[in-house]
Protein backbone atom coordinates (compact mmCIF):
# COMPACT_ATOMS: atom_id res chain seq x y z
CA UNK A 1 0.00 0.00 0.00
CA UNK A 2 1.56 3.29 -1.09
CA UNK A 3 -1.06 5.96 -0.86
CA UNK A 4 0.65 9.37 -0.68
CA UNK A 5 -0.83 12.30 1.22
CA UNK A 6 0.43 15.85 1.10
CA UNK A 7 -1.22 17.86 3.87
CA UNK A 8 -0.93 21.60 3.26
CA UNK A 9 2.71 21.33 2.16
CA UNK A 10 4.59 24.57 1.53
CA UNK A 11 8.12 25.39 0.44
CA UNK A 12 9.56 28.85 0.90
CA UNK A 13 13.01 30.37 0.51
CA UNK A 14 12.79 33.62 2.45
CA UNK A 15 9.97 35.62 0.88
CA UNK A 16 9.93 33.48 -2.29
CA UNK A 17 7.17 30.87 -2.40
CA UNK A 18 8.15 27.72 -4.32
CA UNK A 19 5.05 25.66 -3.45
CA UNK A 20 1.94 27.11 -1.79
CA UNK A 21 -0.44 24.99 0.32
CA UNK A 22 -0.26 21.76 -1.72
CA UNK A 23 -3.01 19.51 -0.36
CA UNK A 24 -3.73 16.23 -2.18
CA UNK A 25 -4.19 12.50 -1.67
CA UNK A 26 -2.67 10.22 -4.33
CA UNK A 27 -4.31 6.79 -4.13
CA UNK A 28 -2.30 3.58 -4.24
CA UNK A 29 -1.25 2.66 -7.83
CA UNK A 30 -2.35 5.98 -9.33
CA UNK A 31 -0.25 7.55 -12.11
CA UNK A 32 -0.26 11.26 -11.20
CA UNK A 33 1.32 13.89 -13.45
CA UNK A 34 2.49 17.26 -12.13
CA UNK A 35 2.23 19.62 -15.10
CA UNK A 36 3.23 23.22 -15.56
CA UNK A 37 5.81 25.62 -17.00
CA UNK A 38 9.36 25.97 -15.69
CA UNK A 39 9.46 27.38 -12.18
CA UNK A 40 5.89 26.44 -11.29
CA UNK A 41 6.89 24.22 -8.31
CA UNK A 42 6.31 20.76 -9.79
CA UNK A 43 9.89 19.47 -9.40
CA UNK A 44 10.14 21.03 -5.92
CA UNK A 45 7.00 19.11 -4.93
CA UNK A 46 8.51 15.85 -6.20
CA UNK A 47 11.81 16.53 -4.43
CA UNK A 48 9.97 17.07 -1.15
CA UNK A 49 8.26 13.70 -1.57
CA UNK A 50 11.62 12.09 -2.31
CA UNK A 51 13.27 13.75 0.70
CA UNK A 52 15.70 15.83 -1.38
CA UNK A 53 14.02 19.05 -0.19
CA UNK A 54 12.60 19.74 3.24
CA UNK A 55 9.10 21.29 3.33
CA UNK A 56 8.80 24.62 5.15
CA UNK A 57 5.51 23.41 6.61
CA UNK A 58 2.94 20.65 6.18
CA UNK A 59 3.09 16.85 6.30
CA UNK A 60 4.08 14.23 3.73
CA UNK A 61 2.75 10.70 4.24
CA UNK A 62 3.70 7.59 2.28
CA UNK A 63 1.41 4.76 3.30
CA UNK A 64 0.93 4.94 7.07
CA UNK A 65 4.23 6.77 7.74
CA UNK A 66 4.82 10.49 7.95
CA UNK A 67 8.15 10.77 6.15
CA UNK A 68 9.12 14.41 6.81
CA UNK A 69 12.00 13.34 9.05
CA UNK A 70 13.09 10.28 7.01
CA UNK A 71 16.16 10.26 4.76
CA UNK A 72 15.53 9.61 1.05
CA UNK A 73 16.94 6.06 1.33
CA UNK A 74 14.36 5.19 3.98
CA UNK A 75 11.29 6.33 2.03
CA UNK A 76 11.18 3.36 -0.39
CA UNK A 77 10.95 5.53 -3.50
CA UNK A 78 12.84 5.18 -6.79
CA UNK A 79 13.63 8.21 -8.93
CA UNK A 80 14.20 8.47 -12.67
CA UNK A 81 15.94 11.72 -13.60
CA UNK A 82 16.07 13.76 -16.79
CA UNK A 83 19.87 13.32 -16.86
CA UNK A 84 19.81 9.47 -16.57
CA UNK A 85 22.55 9.44 -13.89
CA UNK A 86 24.25 6.26 -15.16
CA UNK A 87 27.71 5.12 -14.05
CA UNK A 88 29.96 5.35 -17.16
CA UNK A 89 32.46 2.73 -15.92
CA UNK A 90 29.77 0.05 -15.46
CA UNK A 91 27.99 -1.88 -18.17
CA UNK A 92 24.20 -1.93 -18.42
CA UNK A 93 23.87 -5.07 -16.29
CA UNK A 94 25.93 -3.57 -13.45
CA UNK A 95 24.10 -0.22 -13.69
CA UNK A 96 20.77 -1.97 -13.26
CA UNK A 97 22.14 -4.17 -10.45
CA UNK A 98 23.73 -1.33 -8.49
CA UNK A 99 20.67 -0.45 -6.31
CA UNK A 100 20.47 -4.08 -5.20
CA UNK A 101 24.10 -4.00 -4.02
CA UNK A 102 23.62 -0.70 -2.20
CA UNK A 103 20.52 -1.98 -0.42
CA UNK A 104 22.29 -5.25 0.45
CA UNK A 105 19.75 -7.47 -1.33
CA UNK A 106 21.00 -11.10 -1.19
CA UNK A 107 23.17 -11.81 -4.24
CA UNK A 108 21.23 -14.95 -5.13
CA UNK A 109 18.31 -12.67 -6.09
CA UNK A 110 20.31 -10.26 -8.25
CA UNK A 111 20.36 -11.97 -11.63
CA UNK A 112 16.65 -12.83 -11.68
CA UNK A 113 15.64 -9.30 -10.69
CA UNK A 114 18.04 -7.63 -13.15
CA UNK A 115 16.88 -9.86 -16.01
CA UNK A 116 13.22 -9.21 -15.19
CA UNK A 117 13.76 -5.44 -15.19
CA UNK A 118 15.84 -5.63 -18.35
CA UNK A 119 13.18 -7.63 -20.18
CA UNK A 120 10.49 -5.12 -19.23
CA UNK A 121 12.34 -2.32 -21.05
CA UNK A 122 13.77 -4.53 -23.84
CA UNK A 123 17.45 -4.21 -22.93
CA UNK A 124 18.49 -7.88 -22.99
CA UNK A 125 20.70 -7.37 -26.08
CA UNK A 126 22.58 -4.46 -24.51
CA UNK A 127 23.49 -5.72 -21.04
CA UNK A 128 27.22 -5.94 -21.87
CA UNK A 129 27.48 -2.39 -23.24
CA UNK A 130 28.70 0.71 -21.42
CA UNK A 131 26.44 3.80 -21.37
CA UNK A 132 28.67 5.61 -23.88
CA UNK A 133 27.77 2.97 -26.50
CA UNK A 134 24.02 3.52 -26.07
CA UNK A 135 21.58 5.95 -27.68
CA UNK A 136 19.66 8.46 -25.58
CA UNK A 137 16.56 6.29 -25.63
CA UNK A 138 18.53 3.20 -24.53
CA UNK A 139 20.13 5.14 -21.66
CA UNK A 140 16.72 6.28 -20.48
CA UNK A 141 15.55 2.66 -20.53
CA UNK A 142 18.54 1.69 -18.36
CA UNK A 143 17.50 4.40 -15.89
CA UNK A 144 13.96 2.99 -15.91
CA UNK A 145 15.24 -0.56 -15.36
CA UNK A 146 17.41 0.61 -12.47
CA UNK A 147 14.30 2.06 -10.81
CA UNK A 148 12.20 -1.05 -11.55
CA UNK A 149 14.77 -3.46 -10.11
CA UNK A 150 14.35 -1.91 -6.65
CA UNK A 151 10.65 -2.86 -6.57
CA UNK A 152 9.82 0.34 -4.66
CA UNK A 153 6.48 1.50 -3.27
CA UNK A 154 6.63 4.72 -5.30
CA UNK A 155 8.16 5.78 -8.63
CA UNK A 156 9.16 9.43 -9.04
CA UNK A 157 9.97 10.53 -12.60
CA UNK A 158 11.37 14.00 -13.23
CA UNK A 159 10.98 14.95 -16.93
CA UNK A 160 12.47 11.63 -18.08
CA UNK A 161 11.76 12.21 -21.79
CA UNK A 162 12.90 15.80 -22.24
CA UNK A 163 16.36 14.85 -23.56
CA UNK A 164 14.97 12.57 -26.28
CA UNK A 165 14.08 13.49 -29.85
CA UNK A 166 10.43 13.61 -30.93
CA UNK A 167 10.25 10.06 -32.31
CA UNK A 168 11.93 8.53 -29.25
CA UNK A 169 9.67 10.50 -26.93
CA UNK A 170 6.63 8.87 -28.52
CA UNK A 171 7.99 5.30 -28.28
CA UNK A 172 9.38 5.74 -24.75
CA UNK A 173 6.12 7.33 -23.63
CA UNK A 174 4.29 4.21 -24.82
CA UNK A 175 6.79 2.06 -22.93
CA UNK A 176 6.24 4.02 -19.69
CA UNK A 177 2.47 3.70 -20.12
CA UNK A 178 2.79 -0.07 -20.57
CA UNK A 179 5.18 -0.37 -17.61
CA UNK A 180 2.75 1.53 -15.41
CA UNK A 181 0.03 -0.98 -16.33
CA UNK A 182 2.34 -3.95 -15.63
CA UNK A 183 3.96 -2.76 -12.41
CA UNK A 184 0.89 -1.25 -10.71
CA UNK A 185 3.04 1.06 -8.56
CA UNK A 186 2.09 4.56 -7.41
CA UNK A 187 3.85 6.94 -9.81
CA UNK A 188 4.39 10.70 -9.74
CA UNK A 189 5.61 12.09 -13.04
CA UNK A 190 6.81 15.67 -13.60
CA UNK A 191 6.61 17.29 -17.04
CA UNK A 192 6.04 20.59 -18.82
CA UNK A 193 4.73 18.69 -21.87
CA UNK A 194 0.92 18.62 -21.84
CA UNK A 195 0.83 15.78 -24.41
CA UNK A 196 2.78 13.56 -21.99
CA UNK A 197 0.34 14.52 -19.24
CA UNK A 198 -2.74 13.80 -21.35
CA UNK A 199 -1.49 10.42 -22.58
CA UNK A 200 0.07 9.04 -19.37
CA UNK A 201 -1.92 10.32 -16.41
CA UNK A 202 -4.78 8.90 -14.42
CA UNK A 203 -4.99 12.42 -12.95
CA UNK A 204 -3.19 15.66 -13.73
CA UNK A 205 -2.20 18.45 -11.32
CA UNK A 206 -1.76 21.71 -13.24
CA UNK A 207 0.51 24.17 -11.41
CA UNK A 208 1.51 27.80 -11.92
CA UNK A 209 3.75 29.96 -9.73
CA UNK A 210 3.72 27.36 -6.95
CA UNK A 211 -0.08 27.15 -6.79
CA UNK A 212 -2.27 24.23 -7.86
CA UNK A 213 -4.64 25.51 -10.57
CA UNK A 214 -6.67 22.34 -11.19
CA UNK A 215 -6.69 18.62 -10.36
CA UNK A 216 -8.60 16.16 -12.51
CA UNK A 217 -8.52 13.46 -15.15
CA UNK A 218 -7.02 14.50 -18.49
CA UNK A 219 -10.47 14.70 -20.06
CA UNK A 220 -11.91 16.77 -17.18
CA UNK A 221 -9.11 19.28 -17.51
CA UNK A 222 -9.34 19.36 -21.30
CA UNK A 223 -13.14 19.61 -21.46
CA UNK A 224 -13.65 22.01 -18.56
CA UNK A 225 -10.54 23.99 -17.64
CA UNK A 226 -10.84 25.73 -14.28
CA UNK A 227 -9.40 29.01 -15.54
CA UNK A 228 -7.75 30.71 -18.49
CA UNK A 229 -4.28 29.56 -17.42
CA UNK A 230 -5.30 25.89 -17.67
CA UNK A 231 -7.22 26.57 -20.91
CA UNK A 232 -4.15 28.16 -22.49
CA UNK A 233 -1.76 25.46 -21.24
CA UNK A 234 -3.70 22.30 -22.12
CA UNK A 235 -4.32 21.33 -25.73
CA UNK A 236 -2.38 21.42 -28.98
CA UNK A 237 -3.10 24.06 -30.07
CA UNK A 238 -4.17 25.72 -26.84
CA UNK A 239 -7.77 26.85 -26.45
CA UNK A 240 -8.60 30.01 -28.41
CA UNK A 241 -9.27 32.88 -25.98
CA UNK A 242 -10.97 36.12 -27.04
CA UNK A 243 -11.70 39.20 -24.92
CA UNK A 244 -15.13 40.79 -25.09
CA UNK A 245 -18.44 41.28 -23.31
CA UNK A 246 -21.77 39.48 -23.07
CA UNK A 247 -24.89 41.62 -23.45
CA UNK A 248 -28.38 40.08 -23.61
CA UNK A 249 -26.91 36.63 -24.19
CA UNK A 250 -24.63 37.68 -27.08
CA UNK A 251 -20.84 37.80 -26.89
CA UNK A 252 -19.28 40.73 -28.74
CA UNK A 253 -15.55 40.80 -29.37
CA UNK A 254 -13.13 41.96 -32.06
CA UNK A 255 -14.67 40.72 -35.36
CA UNK A 256 -16.82 38.15 -33.52
CA UNK A 257 -20.43 37.99 -32.35
CA UNK A 258 -21.93 34.82 -30.84
CA UNK A 259 -25.58 34.71 -29.79
CA UNK A 260 -27.35 32.26 -27.49
CA UNK A 261 -24.99 32.41 -24.49
CA UNK A 262 -26.52 32.36 -21.03
CA UNK A 263 -25.31 32.58 -17.44
CA UNK A 264 -22.94 35.52 -17.85
CA UNK A 265 -23.00 39.26 -18.45
CA UNK A 266 -20.39 41.98 -18.68
CA UNK A 267 -16.70 41.62 -19.48
CA UNK A 268 -15.64 38.02 -20.14
CA UNK A 269 -13.08 35.91 -21.97
CA UNK A 270 -14.57 33.53 -24.53
CA UNK A 271 -12.81 30.21 -25.10
CA UNK A 272 -13.24 27.46 -27.70
CA UNK A 273 -11.09 24.66 -29.08
CA UNK A 274 -9.78 24.54 -32.65
CA UNK A 275 -11.44 21.18 -33.38
CA UNK A 276 -14.86 22.42 -32.21
CA UNK A 277 -15.13 25.26 -34.74
CA UNK A 278 -15.50 25.09 -38.54
CA UNK A 279 -14.38 27.07 -41.57
CA UNK A 280 -17.55 27.85 -43.57
CA UNK A 281 -18.52 29.70 -46.73
CA UNK A 282 -21.11 31.92 -45.04
CA UNK A 283 -22.96 32.66 -41.80
CA UNK A 284 -19.87 32.39 -39.60
CA UNK A 285 -19.52 34.37 -36.38
CA UNK A 286 -15.92 35.37 -37.20
CA UNK A 287 -14.89 36.92 -40.51
CA UNK A 288 -11.15 37.49 -40.77
CA UNK A 289 -8.18 37.02 -43.13
CA UNK A 290 -6.05 33.85 -43.13
CA UNK A 291 -2.86 34.39 -41.12
CA UNK A 292 -1.25 30.96 -41.67
CA UNK A 293 -2.01 27.43 -42.94
CA UNK A 294 -0.42 24.25 -41.56
CA UNK A 295 -1.03 20.78 -42.99
CA UNK A 296 -1.13 18.32 -40.06
CA UNK A 297 -1.75 15.17 -42.13
CA UNK A 298 -5.23 14.39 -40.86
CA UNK A 299 -6.35 18.03 -40.93
CA UNK A 300 -5.31 21.54 -41.93
CA UNK A 301 -4.78 24.06 -39.14
CA UNK A 302 -6.10 27.44 -40.28
CA UNK A 303 -5.11 30.48 -38.21
CA UNK A 304 -6.87 33.80 -38.74
CA UNK A 305 -6.23 37.19 -37.20
CA UNK A 306 -9.40 38.59 -35.65
CA UNK A 307 -8.35 42.10 -34.65
CA UNK A 308 -5.32 41.56 -32.42
CA UNK A 309 -6.10 37.92 -31.60
CA UNK A 310 -4.90 34.81 -33.43
CA UNK A 311 -7.61 32.16 -33.71
CA UNK A 312 -6.84 28.57 -34.78
CA UNK A 313 -9.41 26.25 -36.39
CA UNK A 314 -9.04 22.70 -37.69
CA UNK A 315 -10.32 22.33 -41.24
CA UNK A 316 -10.44 19.20 -43.46
CA UNK A 317 -7.02 18.17 -44.77
CA UNK A 318 -8.09 19.13 -48.32
CA UNK A 319 -8.84 22.73 -47.34
CA UNK A 320 -6.69 25.36 -49.06
CA UNK A 321 -6.71 29.16 -48.97
CA UNK A 322 -4.19 31.88 -49.68
CA UNK A 323 -2.66 33.85 -46.82
CA UNK A 324 -4.67 37.04 -46.49
CA UNK A 325 -7.79 35.56 -48.08
CA UNK A 326 -11.01 36.25 -46.13
CA UNK A 327 -12.63 33.25 -44.42
CA UNK A 328 -15.52 32.73 -42.04
CA UNK A 329 -15.57 30.60 -38.90
CA UNK A 330 -18.63 29.07 -37.28
CA UNK A 331 -18.49 28.49 -33.52
CA UNK A 332 -21.32 26.34 -32.08
CA UNK A 333 -22.72 27.96 -28.95
CA UNK A 334 -22.63 24.70 -27.00
CA UNK A 335 -18.84 24.36 -27.15
CA UNK A 336 -18.06 27.87 -25.89
CA UNK A 337 -16.42 28.46 -22.51
CA UNK A 338 -16.77 31.74 -20.63
CA UNK A 339 -14.20 32.97 -18.11
CA UNK A 340 -14.27 35.93 -15.76
CA UNK A 341 -12.31 38.74 -17.42
CA UNK A 342 -10.65 39.77 -14.13
CA UNK A 343 -9.92 36.50 -12.32
CA UNK A 344 -9.80 34.13 -15.30
CA UNK A 345 -12.05 31.66 -13.45
CA UNK A 346 -14.43 29.50 -15.49
CA UNK A 347 -17.99 30.81 -15.21
For residue 272, name the pLDDT band (cuts at 50, 70, 90). very high
Pair 147, 292 in one domain = no
Does residue 174 surpass a pLDDT of 90? no
Does residue 104 surpass a pLDDT of 80? yes
Pair 90, 208 in one domain = yes
Closest C-alpha among 200, 151, 152, 209 to residue 178? 200
For 152, the domain range is 4-232
pTM (2 d.p.): 0.90
Does residue 345 surpass a pLDDT of 80? yes
The domain boundary residue, chosen from 232, 257, 275: 232
pLDDT digits 0-9 by tens, 199-251: 999 999 999 999 999 999 999 999 999 999 999 999 888 999 999 999 999 99
Please state the domain count of the chain.
Answer: 2
The domain boundary residue, chosen from 214, 232, 250: 232
Q: pLDDT at position 300, please?
A: 95
Residue 145 located in a structural domain: yes
Q: pLDDT at position 1, please?
A: 60
Q: Which residues, other chains included, contact 262 with Cβ-Cβ below 8 Å and sequence gap of 6+?
A: 249
The domain boundary residue, chosen from 198, 232, 266: 232
User: Are the C-beta atoms of residues 34 and 205 closer than 8 Å to each other?
Assistant: yes
Amino acid sequence: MAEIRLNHVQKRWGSFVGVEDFHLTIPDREFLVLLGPSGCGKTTTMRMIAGLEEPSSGEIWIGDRMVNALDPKDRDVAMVFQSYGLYPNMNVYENIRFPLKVRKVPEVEHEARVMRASAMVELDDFLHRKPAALSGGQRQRVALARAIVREPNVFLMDEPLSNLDAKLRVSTRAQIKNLSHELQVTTIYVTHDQIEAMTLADRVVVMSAGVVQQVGTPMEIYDRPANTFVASFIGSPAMNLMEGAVTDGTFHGDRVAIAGLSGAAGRVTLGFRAEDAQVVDSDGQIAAPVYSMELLGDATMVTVKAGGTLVAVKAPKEFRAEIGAPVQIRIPTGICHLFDAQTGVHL
